[in-house]
Each structure stands twice: as C-alpha cells, then as structure tokens.
A and B are shown apart, each in its own frame.
Chain A
C-alpha cells in the first residue's frame, strides 16, 4: 500500500521552525511520510523537492509575513512542473483577508497559530484521500 507523502517546507527568511516540526511529527504519527527540508527555502527549492519526492501534499510554514509573495510563486512553479493538482496548505500568522486571498489562489487551507493538530492532520488526510479509499 502506498503511503501518503507530504513535504513540509519553510520558505522565506524567518528562522523559526518549531511549528513546522510539530506539524511534521503530527503527520508522522498519523502514519504519513513527511519530507522535511529545513529553513530558508526559496519557492524554487520547494517546488524542486516536491517534484523529486513526488509528494501528495505540501505544507508551507511562513511566519515572515511574506506569504502573499511566496505562496503564488510556489503554486506557479508546481503548475509548471505538472503538479498543479497537489494540494498546498499554508500555516502561519496570516490575517483573515490574506487567508481568503490565498484560498482564492488555490491554497487548500490556511492554518493559524491556534489550529489543533488533529484539524491539520484531518485536512491533509482528506485532501490526499485517493478515490479507492473513499
């Protein structure tokens, strides 16, 4: 049986990856394979890792405030790579208007700081469920 593979990436310049690591562990504990790429990723690096790792979903952790600049670039690169159908999640401190804008761009869901881990895991599991599992 194929395992769900999720890329957890931290694009941008902020140096805090606590939140990203907590999410990575929660997804692992839910039985998923989490590819963790570390700090200070460019959108190009995120898209390249997603391509090589053939992931089923991507989680971007962005605390720098640059979510409106970084996310569309990741989405555009993924489309160019033929991975436009891979769900992308964004986590971070993101104002409601921006979250709306991100969803408008095609982001599957936006998670704020207080989001329970179970909600994150559920959202990823649902977005990556294959027809056969339903």
Chain B
C-alpha cells in the first residue's frame, strides 16, 4: 500500500486502509508500521457509557467545538455485533449529522465482533491509522457494556465515562469497572431531573474508588472531575474540552503519566502476543482436535492438564 494518498488527505485511500486494517491484511499492517513514527501527535480520547446515554451526541458536540478551535477530528464509533448473525446495525452517525460536509471531520463506524485479533487491538490500530493520517483529535466511542468495550476505552489516552441522570443516590447502580477507567466523568442530559443526585452518587463512588484505584492507572495530581452537559444543546461542552486538554498535559508532563502510557502499551503488547501464539497453535491443530480432547476429558480418559501438554507437544510450541 502507498502512503502518499493517505498523507496528502485522500479520504477514499484512508477509508480503504481502515477497511484493510479491520480485515487484518498484512499490507495494511505494514503501512501502519511504516507510518508509526508519524503517529502519536493526536489526542486519543475514549468515550464510553451505557446505551443511549448520549455518547454520539456528545462526541458530535465535542467535534464541533474542536473544529471551532481549528482542530481536525476523526471519530471511530463502535457498536455491538449481533451474536446470532454476526451482522450489526451501526447507527451512531445519526447523531453526528451536523458534522456532515466538513472536510476536517472523518467518521467511521465499526462493529464490535468478527475481528481475529480482538476488538481492542483492531480499534487501537484504526485509531493509530487516523492519528498517522494527521487528525488532531481521534475519538473512540464504545458502549460501556462488557470487558472488551472497557478494554477499548483503555487504549485511549484520556477516557470519558458518560452517565445519564437517574442513578439516584445509589452507588451500587454504577457499573462495576467503569469508574476505574474514567479520567473524566460526564453526567449528560443535565436538562433532565435527578442530575444532582447522580453527580453526588458518582462523587461518593469516586471517593471509595480512589483508595482502591489501580496504581498507576490515574495520573497523580489528577482528580477525576464530574462534569454536567446537555449534549443536544451544547451546554457544558467547553468545560469538557478544557478538562480533556488538561488531562493530556498532565499525562504528558508527568513521569507517572508517561509510565501509564508505557504500561498501556505493555498490556497491548501482551494481548497481541497471546493472540499470535494462540493463532500459531490453532493453525497447527487438526480442526476437531480440541473437540476430541474435550470428549476424552469428559470420559476421564485424560485430564485437562495432560490434554494441554499433548496439544503443545503436537504443535511443537512447547519450548521448555
């Protein structure tokens, strides 16, 4: 693949590169390797939260505000695939219509399943490609529903978690795992009742959290702000933009911020290695090997650990 059209702003070439990366085509990955040194200039922002909380509307409002400041914006909007058909309806663009016709904005929808290397790895590659293509802001929207979506949010440098009012004062209603990844909390739909209670619940949950917070995950000197927005009206957006910029500066200027980025890359490296090693094993296995072994384990002909050893021995990946 030729990097020239992509670097000169050819949107068709960029779109096709993204498709090829999603399909994990080696030439597309080679191009990403070639351009890797050019990436790293964008701010990669994750936006996650419950279905319907207003993620896409907020992303569109953020994009408008960035554009007004002269920055270019790419959006990667991830929606769940159907576990039954493997198909998906990707509807995030519906809320991003106001960005149409702006050559400084590029929006790409992506389905969550069907990638060999896992969602987080593929999303990270597409985000890096958009970064390398020169966008100033690269926003990744995912539904904060499962572990794989949370993993995606963690590939961003700054993660916004959105809640809608209606949590009440109930700390328990906050989804497990979602606070740990928040650098900025946004209570959207602040035009609806229950905002104050939701803000209170989040703040008190954050206090509980900060004691237990995974070390190195949060930047020191960064206390997670709880902001309120009305994304449909653009209210509160400037404050979110400022908080994003402040978090980025904090991350870049502190050694611990750098450390967090290195930790993040280490996790990504490990996940990719696991995937690659497994693919190697899988490629050398006869298609029904695992089915047969499972049946044998079931009949107590063999135990699980011995089954694993026999697979490793037969695929020559046993390196001890």
Contacts and interface: CB of A to CB of B under 8 A. Distances in A.
A82 B12 contact: yes
B85 A37 contact: no
B89 A28 contact: yes
Interface string B105-149: 011110100100000000000000000000000000000000000
Contacts of A48: 100-101
Given A33-B87, A51-B12, A53-B108, A2 B93 contact: no
A52 B22 CA distance: 14
B141 to A, nearest CB: 14
Contacts of A25: 89
B23 to A, nearest CB: 4
Interface in B7-48: 11-12, 15-16, 18-19, 22-23
Contacts, number: 84
B313 interface: no
A100 B236 CA distance: 52
A117 interface: no
A62 interface: no
A123 interface: no
Contact of A51 (B15, B86, B89, B97): B15
Mostly, the B contact residues are mixed
Nearest to A9: B93
- Interface residue tally of chain B, by bracket? 20 to 34
Contacts of A1: 23, 114
Contact of B93 (A31, A38, A42): A38
A99 interface: no
Interface in A1-18: 1-3, 5
- Interface residue tally of chain A, by bracket? 20 to 34
B15 A35 contact: no
Contact of A52 (B81, B89, B107): B107
B88 interface: yes
Contact of B97 (A2, A3, A38, A81): A38
B111 A3 contact: yes
A24 to B, nearest CB: 5
A68 to B, nearest CB: 23
Given A29-B85, A33-B88, A53-B109, A2 B22 contact: yes
Interface of A: 1-3, 5, 24-25, 27-38, 41-42, 44-45, 48-49, 51-54, 81-83
Interface of B: 11-12, 15-16, 18-19, 22-23, 81-82, 84-91, 93-94, 97, 100-101, 106-109, 111, 114
**5 cross-chain pairs, A with B, having the tightest CB-CB distances, nearest first:** A38-B94, A28-B87, A54-B15, A2-B23, A45-B100
